[in-house]
Amino acid sequence: MRHLKILFFVTLIFSVNTNIYAEESVKDIIKKRKSLFSANYKTAKRVDILSKDLEFEKASKFMKEVSENYLELLNLFPENTKEGHGTEALLSIWENKDEFNALMQKSSDDMIKLASVIEESDDIRATLKQYMWKNCNACHSKFRKPH
């Protein structure tokens, strides 16, 4: 009987602990993806300004940074992070995971393409829109809560 009791408490403590860790990691994942999106917003604005100033070499460096952040974001929407901790993600992400991931991948690929075409572009503003800004709206309109 005593052994059973000990076993019971050990199991209880262990499961409470793993729950706390799971909840902690959910919070970290949501925080991490929010901070990556915020960073991308700042970096995208830099890309915009540098490109319009014809500073293509500097701009390209930041384009690659945005591209890499998108790739990291692919892994930051696991099933257990659908709600809480101030997330603005919509459930439609998990109902259309392939479409969401494809859009994230395309957004990443487009930043690399942008780096290769921007210098030869006749219309910098339109090129930035096509390869960078359009992807933000395409995804937000379907997968992020209105804010």
Binding-site ranges for ligand HEC (CB under 6 A): 30, 33-34, 37-38, 40-41, 44, 87-89, 100, 103-104, 107, 132, 135-136, 139-140, 143-144
Give the nearer residue to ligand HEC in terms of CB position, either 17 or 94: 94
Q: Which of 124, 111, 118 is nearest to 40 (CA)?
A: 111
Give the nearer residue to ligand HEC in terms of CB position, either 33 or 60: 33
Compute the CA torsion angle 108, 109, 113, 116 (nearest 10 deg): 80
As a whole number of angstroms, the distance between CA 26 and CA 89 comes to 13
As a whole number of angstroms, the distance between CA 98 and CA 50 comes to 33
Q: Output phi, psi for 12, to 5 deg.
A: -60, -50
Which residues, listed in sequence order, are joined to residue 89 by a DSSP beta bridge? 144
CB of 70 to ligand HEC, least distance (A): 7
Compute the CA torsion angle 106, 128, 111, 48 (nearest 10 deg): -140
Give the nearer residue to ligand HEC in terms of CB position, either 60 or 135: 135
Give the nearer residue to ligand HEC in terms of CB position, either 11 or 105: 105
Give the nearer residue to ligand HEC in terms of CB position, either 96 or 121: 96
Q: Measured in Å, how far apart are the chain's first and last C-alpha atoms?
A: 57
